[in-house]
Chain A
Amino acid sequence: AQSVTQPDIHITVSEGASLELRCNYSYGATPYLFWYVQSPGQGLQLLLKYFSGDTLVQGIKGFEAEFKRSQSSFNLRKPSVHWSDAAEYFCAVGSYSGAGSYQLTFGKGTKLSVIP
């Protein structure tokens, strides 16, 4: 069965510093990969997605992520963090269940705090 691991529960960075959030997945075939962001009390907003092609994908709000098949990873990066980036970030994999249905499986999330 597919699974997603986000090793860091909580990360704190200073405003202006760089950021990398880690995501590892387990899935036998080529996955569809996503990063979502959730602000407090809100729903999930898509930051970026990878389906195929260029392994470095650009998203909204200055985020990017790199797909590394050999490491089963899809890490999220931002060169300079802004205070408004404080939120919870979820990595997800789109895959097929045993019944052949498409599903999204989410990691447990990484909470980002930003120090002014």
Chain B
Amino acid sequence: NAGVTQTPKFRILKIGQSMTLQCTQDMNHNYMYWYRQDPGMGLKLIYYSVGAGITDKGEVPNGYNVSRSTTEDFPLRLELAAPSQTSVYFCASSWINTEAFFGQGTRLTVV
């Protein structure tokens, strides 16, 4: 059982570059989430999805985009990387009204 898988684990980007953080889950969960974690700030919700084809903004969506073409995959896109996007990114999935299962995270540095 893989659970939630994120790739890559680490990435260094230059300002203005773009990249996609990949997330896939094999638990057939309908809900998927992207969070960012900054020191002392907890986890902040970037985007979430309630099912294939449906996405919505969370607390801190600016500078990011998502898509959900299948139940399993929920990629996060950074179009023009900025130093403020240096963070650890976590993907998670859940059923409604249950706990979320987390991936191992992607540590992104923008220089």
> A residues near B, CB below 8 A?
9, 32, 34, 36, 42-46, 49, 51, 90, 94, 99, 101-109
**What are the 3 closest A-B residue pairs judged by CB atoms, nearest first?**
A108-B42, A43-B102, A106-B43
A108–B40 CA distance with the chains assembled, in angstroms: 6
Number of interface residues of B (CB under 8 A): 25
Bound CA–CA A66/B100 (angstroms): 20
A104, B102: Cβ atoms under 8 Å?
no
Q: Which of B11-19, B62-70, B77-85, B89-97 contacts A (4 or more CB under 8 A)?
A: B89-97
CB <8 Å contact, A103 and B58: yes
Which chain A positions have C-beta within 8 A of B74?
none
In Å, the complex CA distance between A103 and B56 comes to 11
Expressed in whole angstroms, the Cα–Cα distance for A45 and B103 within the complex equals 10
